[in-house]
């Protein structure tokens, strides 16, 4: 069997995942390993949908910026002198040179191209173009940076490379109300970045279930039992579900305890739950009684991903002299490393010709939601990669 044949999907595999949950089977192997499918995912999902670049506290002052990359595209997100957050392609309007290289920075007064020193304001306008006054008819007003759509939701900054994408607020109109968490007022307490040898979908699927927790997370079960989850749910662009903290535990740390007060305004039930959401295509959001944790997934290849994690805390907690986020950070850093190891092991397995999907367990309903959203969204390119076998 050639590598090309090995990466062909069968229509029967697609239909097996679309069956009712009690009968369905997980995704077959090709979507996790085929570079052609990965390229189609970048174009169909990541360059068409809204992508979270981080919390707005990363852009707290004028001159703060973020740079994110997906496929061949790179975007700069800045806070301007007027306080507005804007996004632009990371491309000089002169001859296309990449402008910025760092993933984040502060104190930016302007954006200067390293090639010919064309210089842009933080609002994207071209403010200097050396010697271009010698070019007849040249007007700086015609050559500002190319904008990328940028919107904020619950304090998170999103971009979309698709000028025709529906408004973010409309896409998430059916999302549960999070206003009581006051996420927009939270501050960044810690960040971690990971690169792992696994497909981005394996990370999303692993996040959506705790069937693997007893085997892989011995520190987690004493704090939140793997069978403590409530009913899972889905919307057009998300899925998720809650898990309950064990009696005597106040939050997700090694001890289940912390000296931080709960986030102000939470309901009594919020103090007993951790809410987990997967906002498609790759924004993972978990809400804890005293902090919020995010994972943003940036695919690099069919078998490689970058994940950025942010731990967000209430300003009252961060202003205390004894503020120390390490109890939450250490707990999830360990959990993340355990997850990445099993995702990388899964990546090796789904590359095999011997991989035959089994069945979903009852604890994996959100994976079923995610997989079927994926099949709906990717139906056309997947069918192009299908062998046509209906049996």
Sheet of 111-112: strands edge to edge? 111-112, 119-120, 126-128
Please give the pLDDT value at position 1: 44
pLDDT mean over 378-384: 91
Which residue ranges does the chain devote to CATH 3.90.380.10? 3-49+173-384
Q: What is the DSSP letter of 367?
A: H
How would DSSP label each residue in 74-132?
A: EEEEEE-TTS-EEEEESB-TTT--B---SSEES----EE-TTT--EE-TTS-EEE-TTG
* pLDDT above 90 for 49: yes
Q: Give pLDDT tens digits for 303-339.
A: 999 999 999 999 999 999 999 999 999 999 999 999 9
pLDDT mean over 352-375: 97
> What is the overall mean pLDDT for the chain?
96
Sheet of 147-153: strands edge to edge? 51-55, 156-160, 147-153, 85-89, 73-79, 65-70, 104-105
Q: What is the DSSP letter of 386?
A: B
Q: Report the percentage of the chain scoring pLDDT > 90.
A: 95
Beta strands 147-153 and 85-89, pairing class? antiparallel
Distances from the Cα of 126 to the Cαs of 111, 123, 146, in angstroms?
Answer: 9, 9, 11
pLDDT band at 384 (very low <50, low <70, confident <90, very high): confident
Which residue ranges does the chain devote to CATH 2.102.10.10? 51-164
Give Cβ neighbours of residue 246 (< 8 Å, ≥ 6 apart).
222, 223, 224, 225, 228, 256
- Which H or E element spans position 343? helix 326-350
Closest CA relative to residue 275, chosen from 325, 229, 338, 327:
229
* pLDDT above 50 for 172: yes
**How many alpha carbons fall within 13 Å on the CB side of residue 200?**
29
Helices (H) and strands (E) in the chain, counts: 11, 17
* pLDDT above 90 for 143: yes
Please give the pLDDT value at position 6: 74
Distances from the Cα of 182 to the Cαs of 129, 156, 280, 358, in angstroms?
Answer: 43, 12, 22, 41
pLDDT mean over 361-390: 90
Please give the pLDDT value at position 4: 57
Cα dihedral 381→385→387→390 (10° resolution): -30
Fold observed for domain 3-49+173-384: Naphthalene 1,2-dioxygenase Alpha Subunit; Chain A, domain 1 (3.90.380)
* pLDDT above 70 for 3: no
Beta pairing partners, 286: 276, 293
CATH architecture of 51-164: 3-layer Sandwich (2.102)
User: Rounded to two decimals, what is the model's pTM?
Assistant: 0.95
Please give the pLDDT value at position 385: 78
Please give the pLDDT value at position 7: 76
Can you tell me the distance from the alpha carbon of 360 to that of 343, in angstroms, rounded to the nearest whole number?
17
Sheet of 187-196: strands edge to edge? 187-196, 304-313, 292-301, 283-287, 273-279, 238-244, 233-234
* pLDDT above 60 for 390: no
Closest CA relative to residue 251, chosen from 226, 270, 232, 278:
270
| CA dihedral (84, 90, 96, 99) positive or negative | positive
Q: Give pLDDT tens digits for 30-43.
A: 999 999 999 999 99
pLDDT mean over 269-284: 97
Q: Report the percentage of the chain scoring pLDDT > 70.
A: 97
Please give the pLDDT value at position 151: 98
pLDDT band at 5 (very low <50, low <70, confident <90, very high): low
Can you tell me the distance from the alpha carbon of 181 to that of 52, in angstroms, rounded to the nearest whole number?
18
Give Cβ neighbours of residue 359 (< 8 Å, ≥ 6 apart).
24, 25, 26
């Amino acid at each position: 069997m050639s590598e090309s044949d090995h990466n062909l999907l069968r229509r029967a595999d697609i239909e097996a995942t679309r069956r009712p949950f009690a009968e369905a089977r997980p995704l077959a192997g090709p979507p996790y390993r085929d570079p052609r499918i990965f390229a189609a995912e970048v174009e169909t999902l990541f360059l068409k949908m809204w992508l979270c670049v981080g919390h707005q506290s990363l852009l707290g002052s004028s001159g703060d910026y973020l740079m994110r990359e997906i496929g061949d595209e790179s975007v700069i997100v800045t806070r301007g002198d007027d306080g507005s957050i804007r996004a632009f392609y990371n491309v000089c309007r002169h001859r296309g040179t990449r402008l910025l290289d760092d993933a984040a920075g502060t104190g930016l007064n302007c954006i200067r191209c390293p090639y010919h020193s064309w210089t842009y304001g933080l609002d994207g306008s071209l403010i200097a173009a050396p010697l271009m006054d010698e070019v007849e008819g040249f007007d700086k007003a015609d050559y500002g940076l190319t904008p990328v759509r940028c919107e904020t939701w619950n304090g998170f900054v999103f971009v979309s490379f698709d000028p025709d994408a529906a408004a973010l607020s409309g896409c998430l109109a059916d999302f549960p109300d999070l206003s009581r968490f006051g996420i927009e007022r939270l501050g960044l307490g810690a960040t971690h970045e990971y690169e792992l040898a696994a497909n981005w979908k394996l990370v999303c699927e692993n996040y959506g279930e705790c069937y693997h927790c007893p085997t892989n997370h011995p520190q987690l079960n004493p704090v939140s039992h793997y069978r403590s989850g409530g009913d899972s749910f889905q919307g057009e662009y998300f899925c998720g579900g809650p898990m309950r903290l064990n009696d005597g535990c106040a939050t997700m740390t090694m001890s289940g305890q912390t000296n931080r007060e709960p986030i102000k305004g939470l309901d009594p039930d919020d103090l007993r739950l951790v809410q987990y959401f997967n906002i498609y295509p790759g924004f993972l959001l978990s809400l804890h009684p005293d902090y919020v944790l995010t994972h943003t997934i940036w695919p690099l290849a069919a078998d490689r991903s970058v994940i950025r994690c942010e731990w967000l805390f209430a300003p009252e907690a961060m202003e205390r002299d004894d503020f120390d986020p390490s109890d939450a950070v250490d707990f999830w850093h360990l959990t993340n490393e355990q997850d990445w190891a099993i995702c990388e092991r899964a990546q090796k397995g789904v590359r095999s010709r011997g991989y035959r999907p089994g069945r979903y367990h009852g604890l994996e309903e959100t994976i079923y939601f995610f997989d079927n959203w994926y099949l709906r969204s990717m139906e056309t390119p997947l069918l192009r990669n299908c062998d046509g076998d209906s049996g």
